[in-house]
Amino acid sequence: MSEPVRIGVLGAGSIGIRGALAHLSIGDYADRVTLAAVCDAVPGRAAAAAEKYGVPQSFEDFDSMLRLGDIDAVTIGTPIGLHYEQGVQAIEAGKHIHFNKTMTTTIADADDLIERAAARGVHLVVSPGQMHRPHLRRIRRMVEDGSLGRLVWAATGAGFGVYHEKEGVRQGNDILSNINPAWYWRKPGGGPVYDMTVYGLHALTGVLGPVRRVTAVSGTVVKQREFRGELFDCDCDDNTLILVDFGGALFGFVYGTAAGNVVHSFGSPSFFGTAGSIVGETLNGQPFDYPGRERAAVDGMNAILPHYNERHSTEEFHVFEDIMQLVELVRDGKPTVSTAEHARHVIEIIEAAYLAAETGQTQELRTTFTPAPGA
């Protein structure tokens, strides 16, 4: 298509504001993408977002946006447990989709979305597109070239902490700044694995390729959380330790916990081999080179993603990057590494981990994907 892709934002909560509306409203890619509509089920929130970010249309019902909105595509930034149903709605309406992480909570739902999209000629792009990051592409190349000798094991993960309670969009008194985070603590889709560890899983598998087997232990530590003086019951697993088997005696340790961290960054796994180790952006304790390293050291890792410029130096730019990946796929047919197939494999790892923890039995995986080449 030659005209700009018209995007509808589903969800004017934390990620919808910080990852989509705040970036799309800048308008510096207006020749390629237009912020056309916003939808949120909370009465008045979509209208407030439309006024603040200059969005032509606002809706409180997703079906109404799909039927009446002047849109070609949607970016879905609602609670994870809603993504499958909303994805089906969008596909059946013929709309291209960017899913914020995580696309679904089950492999069966991921399969169904991919099959429906193929049948309808709809494009799917899924966050987090970790392998757009040059340092991870370089790590994949170093692993392939034997810079670490025989690779032995790797680690990735994240600690939940109180990050969501402290986000700025939750501290105010108006409808766009008092957003309740309680869904993060409830099933389906809540907890640190779906929300944060997913970054490391995309990076780990992007570097090493598909996982073959999974085992895990998992449970709930924090039974209640407090937000602005109100207590909320928590039933999501918030303490999950996972072992993944890549084959050839190469293993990975993956965690999603209520607190604590082992790795340098939850988006950058650590890798250990017989001839050395990679931790963060260092090889054997010394910085390794990759395209954009000097700029990243000054402006942060988001600064070397493909569509970054200084006007986007705010939060959650990586979400906007994946939205732009969808735009270029729809407009130009440009392939992306933020594929639904990669996301489906990560979803299978997560689902298999919870099943392994419940049954005490190691789970064999059936999905695969094609990793991006090293650089």
Per-residue pLDDT tens digits for 12-23: 999 999 999 999
Does pLDDT of 163 surpass 90?
A: no
Query: What percent of the chain stands above pLDDT 70?
Result: 100
Q: What is the tens place of the pLDDT at every residue in 263-280? A: 988 889 999 999 999 999
Q: Where are the domains of the chain?
A: 5-126, 131-296+339-364
**Helix residue ranges per DSSP H, the chain:** 14-15, 22-24, 45-53, 62-68, 83-92, 107-120, 134-145, 163-166, 192, 198-208, 293-299, 317-332, 340-359
Spatial contact of 60 and 37, defined as CB atoms under 8 Å apart: no
What mean pLDDT comes out for the span 217-230?
A: 97
pLDDT of residue 321: 98
What mean pLDDT comes out for the span 307-329?
A: 96
Neighbours of 179 (CB within 10 A): 21
Does pLDDT of 305 surpass 80?
A: yes
Tell me 315's DSSP state.
T
pLDDT of residue 264: 86
What mean pLDDT comes out for the span 320-328?
A: 98
Q: Among 157, 259, 205, which residue's Cα sits nearest to residue 371?
A: 205
Distance CA 308, CA 322 (A): 11
C-alpha 250: how far from chain center? 25
pLDDT of residue 344: 98
Does pLDDT of 169 surpass 90?
A: yes
Burial of 334 (0-12, 13-18, 19+ CB in 10 A): exposed
pLDDT of residue 266: 86
Residue 105's DSSP bridge partners are none
pLDDT of residue 140: 97
pTM, full prediction: 0.97
Burial of 309 (0-12, 13-18, 19+ CB in 10 A): exposed
Q: What is the tens place of the pLDDT at every residue in 48-103? A: 999 999 999 999 999 999 999 999 999 999 999 999 999 999 999 999 999 999 99
Query: Which residue type is seen at 115?
Result: E
Q: pLDDT band at 375, cuts 50/70/90?
A: confident
What mean pLDDT comes out for the span 244-273?
A: 96
Average model confidence (pLDDT) for the chain?
97
Domain boundaries 5-126, CATH class: alpha beta
What mean pLDDT comes out for the span 222-236?
A: 96
Query: Which residue type is seen at 23?
Result: H
CATH number for the domain running over 131-296+339-364: 3.30.360.10
Q: pLDDT band at 106, cuts 50/70/90?
A: very high
